[in-house]
Amino acid sequence: MKLASHEFTSESVSEGHPDKVADQISDAIVDLFLSRDPTSKVAVETLTTTNRVVLAGEVRTNNGAEVTHDEMNQAARDVVKRIGYEQDGFHWENMEIANHVHGQSVEIAQGVEEGQGLYGGEGAGDQGIMFGYATNETPELMPATLVYSHQILQRLAQLRHDGTHPELEPDAKSQVTLQYEGSKPVGVNALVVSHQHKDSATLDQLREIIRPVIKDVLPDGWFPAEDKFYVNPTGRFVIGGPDGDAGLTGRKIIVDTYGGAAPHGGGAFSGKDPSKVDRSAAYATRYLAKNIVAAGLADRCTIQVSYAIGVAQPLSIYVDTHGTGNVDEERIAKALRELFDLSPKGIRTHLKLNRPIYGPSAAYGHFGRTPTDAGGFSWEKTDLVDDLKHLTN
């Protein structure tokens, strides 16, 4: 069904948001383990609060490699230092770290190792549903509301890190409301940026720091009316980050994915090694949905897969092109099974996920990013396009 004229809103949060600090620490620990043993099993959660970080979870290496609590703690400090927290209430050097990470349960391990499951092969690490999505409204094949929300905060973080605007502190949020005509964005109806700042900075100063960044990110002529351009609408924002609000791993999953434009499965991504289908299958479904849209089979595409713990292949594959497709959806679903092995091992092998590549994904979204030479964001490649174009014949 064709979309009518409507508004839609997405938000993003900066690398210094307390929940994102937690995500980045958890993924730094995932990368630490994968750098020692690519087959490591990791499920680590992080809590951040005033000058304190708490780590908890289960880990296992298979090659005898050891990762000590001291090394995990140092990884956490390195993340907080890189973000830029040197405040009285949260400082990379002075914060206390309570580390409760321990070995993985044998009962969890059984059935998810290759050849040990009741149904043979390497089973999924848990049951669950995962979604992938793509839309042709932006070059990134992502919702425009989320792309602009991320980019605004990324540019502001760059200005903070390079010293251009030392008035800025690490914690920030953005929110973009676009006007759509059908499925295409045509303008901005409202825009919000809340940014932590030095005590000496005024709201007028912040507004004029943020204004040119927004103008640079948005298409020409899209800057909202002044009364729809909100900067720190609650007033001053000096106390922020984990000192202002506790943070937890996995609490910004909509920011991580599609900004509310598509469904999300039951699990977060950060802190989990790629044997966990919460993470790897969400990457796989994004990869498939993006290739379908890039191949011109549809303007928008949502894919769902489901798994059972200990069972290798997905129980179901659902494809929805939202009335924009030119190929039957059942035919697409059948082709996906033939082109891509959606077992946990198949996903990891095809996308080369058993590498320490996850730190950069833990802020500014896991999707819509550029694949790196080191293998990061491999799920953003469009190397299935030629195979999928054959479906239109």
Q: Give me the domains of the chain, ranges plus CATH numbers.
A: 6-13+144-239 (3.30.300.10), 128-136+277-392 (3.30.300.10)
List the binding residues.
Answer: 17, 19, 45, 58, 104, 171-173, 236-237, 245, 251-252, 268, 272, 276
List the binding residues for ATP.
Answer: 17, 171-173, 236-237, 245, 251-252, 268, 272
Q: Is 70 a catalytic residue?
A: no
Q: Is 126 a catalytic residue?
A: no
Q: Assign 3-class secondary structure to 326-387.
A: CCCHHHHHHHHHHHCCCCHHHHHHHHCCCCCCCHHHHCCCCCCCCCCCCCCCHHHCCCCHHH
Q: What is the DSSP string of 20-77?
A: HHHHHHHHHHHHHHHHH-TT-EEEEEEEEETTEEEEEEEEE-SSS----HHHHHHHHH
Q: Is 2 a catalytic residue?
A: no
Q: Which of 31, 278, 320, 380 is catalytic?
A: 278
**How deeply is 141 buried, as exposed, middle or buried, from its count of CB atoms within 10 A (0-12, 13-18, 19+)?**
buried
Q: Is 246 a catalytic residue?
A: yes
Whether pLDDT at 166 is above 80 = yes
Q: Is 19 a catalytic residue?
A: yes
Q: Is 345 a catalytic residue?
A: no
- Cα distance between residue 255 and residue 266, in whole Å: 15
Whether pLDDT at 81 is above 90 = yes
Q: Read off the pLDDT of each residue in 371-388 and give the average, rounded to a whole number.
A: 96
pLDDT of residue 266: 80
Q: Confidence class of residue 4 from pLDDT cuts 50, 70 and 90?
A: confident
Q: How far is residue 117 CA from its own chain's centroid?
A: 30
Q: Read off the pLDDT of each residue in 272-292 and give the average, rounded to a whole number.
A: 96
The contacts of residue 285 (CB under 8 Å, 6+ apart) are 130, 131, 132, 303, 304, 305
**How deeply is 285 buried, as exposed, middle or buried, from its count of CB atoms within 10 A (0-12, 13-18, 19+)?**
buried
More confidently predicted of 105 and 231: 231
- Cα distance between residue 98 and residue 114, in whole Å: 34
Q: With beta carbons less than 8 A apart as the criterion, state whether 61 and 71 touch.
A: no
**What distance separates the 2 farthest-apart alpha carbons in the chain?**
64
Q: Read off the pLDDT of each residue in 159-165 and give the average, rounded to a whole number.
A: 97
Arithmetic mean of pLDDT over the chain: 94
More confidently predicted of 113 and 62: 62
Length of the chain (residues): 393
Please give the structure tokens belonging to residue 47: 């809590």
Q: Is 278 a catalytic residue?
A: yes
Q: Confidence class of residue 115 from pLDDT cuts 50, 70 and 90?
A: very low
pLDDT in tens, 196-221: 999 999 999 999 999 999 999 999 99
